[in-house]
Structure 1
Amino acid sequence: MSATDFSSLPLTSELLQTLNDLQYSAMTPIQAQSLPAVLNGQDVIAQAKTGSGKTAAFALGILAKLDVKRFRVQSLVLCPTRELAEQVAEEIRRLGRSQHNIKVLTLCGGVPSRFQTLSLEHGAHILVGTPGRVLDHLQQERIDFSELSMLVLDEADRMLDMGFQDDLKAIISATPESRQTLLFSATYPPQIEKLAGSLMQEPLRVTVESEVQHSNIKQQFYKLEGTPREQAAMLLLQQFQPESCVLFCNTKRETHELYQTLKANGFSVLALHGDLEQKDRDQTLVQFNNKSARIMVATDVAARGLDITALDMVINVQMAHDSDTHTHRIGRTGRAGESGLALTLVSHQDDYKLSLLQDEISEDIHLLPLPDHAVLQQPPAKALMVTLQIQGGKKHKLRPGDIVGALTRNDQIPFDKVGKIQLQSMWSYVAVERSLGGKALQILNNDKLKGRSFRARSL
């Protein structure tokens, strides 16, 4: 039996069977180094980049210690963004599906708190949320942490960057001192070290180097030489024709301006930045993940912790302010063993950033010329799919099968032309091949789901 086999761990047969069913073949480095200590009840500081398998590391620790018969809050996971919190909660539910009657509740901003209050009144085993909303419920005395046995801080460095330090202190002070604490962070700056020192007892420190994770990512650097960044970005997009690509900018203004330029030039593009309302952020991510848009322009804070899968390429339209952020950006591509491509635009003003980055990269950085402007003569490619929004969701007892059944009934739309389906509380989203979007919309507006009529629209 290998040391990286999950069967080498003291996990229940039900958990091991679930891991096997989900095709978790072997532990990733962060899991192999941290899980034995986590399962032994030890405090752990784990430094690893996004995509390293850290969520499963603490999720398995939570599930292994959970007493389902004790209907009290036993574990709390704090995350910097709503998107990451929902991703973590979903992973815990997936891994814990063999343990009956587990209740995992997400507590995040951007949605009405009254629904969360009702759920809290009915109780929960595991809470996953953002510091601001968790603290709000705590101060309203809606949460009891007296039986909390495990606290997880996920992407702790980003929570501090976003100004959550006081909220974290207030939440932690309400938890039992006897709890086990796990801290996961992509970087380990002094403020993280200080935070760990104040809340952990003789923690095990685990570090997984990023070079191993990004060995399958090819990096290329392009010299601007007077070409406007917006035009340079279009040249690269037309040259490489990615099916899915994230373009990183350093500010919300730059993100919005690049989005407008790309859209005006016919590109299939979305924008993600801090000024968007939560419902607009949700719809942006749904459309990008289900291939209804090829390109997303984003800021670093907006893109941190997002569950973006199968990303072909990343373009750093502006160089990141530091090497850690650059590493995080390019780590969005090349996941799960797939190859990835990361392109970076460089101007004379970036010489200092480039020299710092060169110190972190084993290979020499060579600046390449931009593609020939002739590539702009061809029209940008359209997205493969279109997203339809249905005014009904989990609250209306809708299931993915109801939507697929309505669309494919009597061979109206072939099954393989229907893409991802995502259900939310009050809304559902379905991706359909672009050429069939109009027909699918007509079906959904004229047919019935669960015996009821629901309105649908194209995003």
Structure 2
Amino acid sequence: MATARTANPAPMIGLNKAANGQFRGQTKPAGPQSGLLATVQQSGDPQKRSSIPQNSGGIRFGDDWKKCLELPPKDTRLKTSDVTSTKGNEFEDYCLKRELLMGIFEMGWEKPSPVQEESIPIALSGRDILARAKNGTGKSGAYLIPLLERIDLKKDHIQAMVLVPTRELALQMSQISIQLSKHLGGVKVMATTGGTNLRDDIMRLDEIVHVVIATPGRILDLIKKGVAKVNKTQMMVMDEADKLLSQDFVVLIEDIISFLPKDRQILLYSATFPISVQKFMSKHLQKPYEINLMEELTLKGITQYYAYVTERQKVHCLNTLFSRLQINQSIIFCNSTQRVELLAKKITQLGYSCFYIHAKMMQEYRNRVFHDFRNGLCRNLVCTDLFTRGIDIQAVNVVINFDFPKNAETYLHRIGRSGRFGHLGLAINLITSDDRYNLKTIEDQLVTDIKPIPSSIDKSLYVAEFHSVDPDDDDNDGELKNKELGAA
């Protein structure tokens, strides 16, 4: 599969559309490159972290089991209070299996975040949960840790089900689950989504599966075919629950719940909850424990700017940002699939590495783009709102809204792709005259301040490894001229 990197870039002639979301073209570095991307890749790549040999007999009583762990490089980046304002609990305080703790620490998770502190003990007790917490503050661990702790390997049926709105999120969650449970001695995790071969899923479910991570349409299909038997499933998690309870999915969710046992446990997690959640909660949840860590809606580590431009100035503005900002990885949002492909082609013609992804692509291409971008094979990704839900790529430090979103909820999820787990991020919005009303509305609804882009963006606002810049240096890499950005 071709990527956007070439050893000896040559001038591009007759660049054609790449149906797989990856362009081959001249690669031009987008601003200075720090060592963060390599660090994040190393810590996130399961192939680069050895674990305790499976044939070693495990950890014997009395051994210092922590010394046997192969931990990823310690993340020394600054973290905001979104994840550091905790009660001081440790993962070991929850009486978790030692083998699960091994997986947690080898993921690089050192201490529970606020949503994990609130959620893990309640979920372990079997009580229903309605949890509202910001994007990128550890919601996945908040439900996956108690879910895996409660798996009984002596039972060979589906014991837990995680529902997510997108295929990419299902793949991401299954990968995290597999890594967390690798020392548990046989927990079987399966991801099943639309757009893949149904026969393969049927054959997989003929074997033992303990945890299913799925999109609603596919798992309901398998349930109705009698292949996925969920009549003994004790726990159902809805990640990005607001999306799952929207008109697109809510009928499917209701149908799935009808096949579950009466005494099941339901956990709902999201950053935003519409009014419709109350109706669902009163119908299906039993005295749910409510967690609300959303006193303010936007992440504290994300600095937000807007550049006022005309439609024709947008590409030039983007080119200036690429050349001036210190980008580890960036995600660029457009409002339509057609504009995604056109912009990705334009970015590649400008000489920058670029992938694109949207819902109309073949699933195998979507999977490949998602995998390669996560592994750092490309600096920039152009996408639709398909990529706003739960996608966690630690190296992303810049989000650009090439097309400004129509509502506050979409905006919140988009900018939440940077600044993951309390780290720093930058969100830049290209605003035309048609977007002015939406900008003001979103600021009011989120109670946030989106400022005009300054003449110089301080790198310490979004770059982990920052060295001070001489303000009198005319070659200052962090300097952004208003006139170059089309700012008013």
Report the TM-score, using the length of structure 1 for normalisation: 0.76
Secondary structure at the residue paired with 2:420?
coil
Q: How far 1:311 moved relative to its partner?
A: 0.7
Cα separation, partners in 2 of 1:243 and 1:61, compared to 1, 3 Å? closer
Q: Residue 309 of structure 2: which of 205, 208, 224 is its match?
A: 224
Cα separation, partners in 2 of 1:208 and 1:143, compared to 1, 3 Å? same
Q: Residue 54 of structure 1: which of 132, 135, 139 is its match?
A: 139
Cα distance in 2, alignment partners of residues 314 and 189 from structure 1: 25
Structure 2: runs of 5 or more not aligned: 1-85, 456-479
Cα separation, partners in 2 of 1:43 and 1:15, compared to 1, 3 Å? same
Considering only aligned residues, what root-mean-square deviation do their CA atoms show, in Å? 2.5
The answer to whether residue 156 in structure 2 is matched with residue 65 in structure 1 is: no
1:129-169, Cα deviation, whole Å (9 max, x unpaired): 11111011111111211211111111122234471222111
Match of 2:90 in 1: 5
Cα distance in 2, alignment partners of residues 17 and 185 from structure 1: 27
Q: How far 1:367 moved relative to its partner?
A: 5.2
Match of 2:202 in 1: 117
Cα distance in 2, alignment partners of residues 86 and 123 from structure 1: 19
The answer to whether residue 195 in structure 2 is matched with residue 106 in structure 1 is: no
The answer to whether residue 211 in structure 2 is matched with residue 133 in structure 1 is: no
The residue type paired with residue 139 of structure 2 is K
Cα distance in 2, alignment partners of residues 374 and 181 from structure 1: 51
**Which deviates the most, 128-137 or 153-162?**
153-162
Match of 2:399 in 1: 314
Runs of 4+ in 1 over 6 A off after TM superposition: 372-375
Q: Is the 8 A contact 2:329 2:380 kept in 1?
A: yes
The answer to whether residue 274 in structure 2 is matched with residue 189 in structure 1 is: yes
Match of 1:256 in 2: 341
Match of 2:291 in 1: 206
Secondary structure at the residue paired with 2:269?
strand
Secondary structure at the residue paired with 2:396?
coil
- Which of the pair is proportionally richer in helix? 1
Q: How far 1:58 moved relative to its partner?
A: 0.9
Cα distance in 1, alignment partners of residues 387 and 108 from structure 2: 30
Cα distance in 2, alignment partners of residues 222 and 127 from structure 1: 44
Q: How far 1:52 moved relative to its partner?
A: 1.5
Q: Is the 8 A contact 2:357 2:382 kept in 1?
A: yes
Match of 1:284 in 2: 369
Match of 1:300 in 2: 385
Cα distance in 2, alignment partners of residues 61 and 310 from structure 1: 27
Q: How far 1:38 moved relative to its partner?
A: 0.7
Matches within 5 A, 1:124-163: 124-161=209-246, 163=248
Q: Is the 8 A contact 1:223 1:368 kept in 2?
A: no
Cα distance in 1, alignment partners of residues 360 and 352 from structure 2: 22
The residue type paired with residue 365 of structure 1 is K
The answer to whether residue 243 in structure 2 is matched with residue 164 in structure 1 is: no
The residue type paired with residue 263 of structure 1 is T
Q: How far 1:212 moved relative to its partner?
A: 8.2
Cα distance in 1, alignment partners of residues 268 and 135 from structure 2: 14
Q: How far 1:337 moved relative to its partner?
A: 4.0
Q: How far 1:211 moved relative to its partner?
A: 4.5
1:18-51, Cα deviation, whole Å (9 max, x unpaired): 3334342211111111112111111001112332
Q: Give the count of matched residue pairs.
A: 376
The residue type paired with residue 318 of structure 2 is A
Q: Residue 103 of structure 2: which of 14, 18, 21 is its match?
A: 18
Q: Is the 8 A contact 1:236 1:371 kept in 2?
A: no
Match of 1:445 in 2: none
Cα separation, partners in 2 of 1:142 and 1:225, compared to 1, 3 Å? closer
- Which of the pair is proportionally richer in strand? 1
Q: Residue 365 of structure 1: which of 447, 451, 454 is its match?
A: 451
**Which deviates the most, 265-274 or 207-216?**
207-216
Q: Is the 8 A contact 1:45 1:182 kept in 2?
A: yes
1:33-81, Cα deviation, whole Å (9 max, x unpaired): 1112111111001112332211111111112221110111111111111
Cα distance in 2, alignment partners of residues 226 and 87 from structure 1: 35
Cα distance in 1, alignment partners of residues 117 and 96 from structure 2: 14
Q: Is the 8 A contact 1:239 1:371 kept in 2?
A: no
The residue type paired with residue 89 of structure 2 is T
Work out the percentage of aligned pairs sharing the same amino acid: 31
Match of 2:120 in 1: 35
Q: Is the 8 A contact 1:223 1:346 kept in 2?
A: yes
Q: How far 1:96 moved relative to its partner?
A: 1.8
Cα distance in 1, alignment partners of residues 295 and 385 from structure 2: 18
Report the TM-score, using the length of structure 2 for normalisation: 0.72
**Which deviates the most, 164-173 or 304-313?**
304-313
Q: Is the 8 A contact 1:222 1:368 kept in 2?
A: no
Which structure has the higher relative contact order (CA within 8 Å, separation 6+)? 2
Q: Is the 8 A contact 1:77 1:153 kept in 2?
A: yes
Cα distance in 1, alignment partners of residues 126 and 453 from structure 2: 49
Cα separation, partners in 2 of 1:210 and 1:234, compared to 1, 3 Å? farther
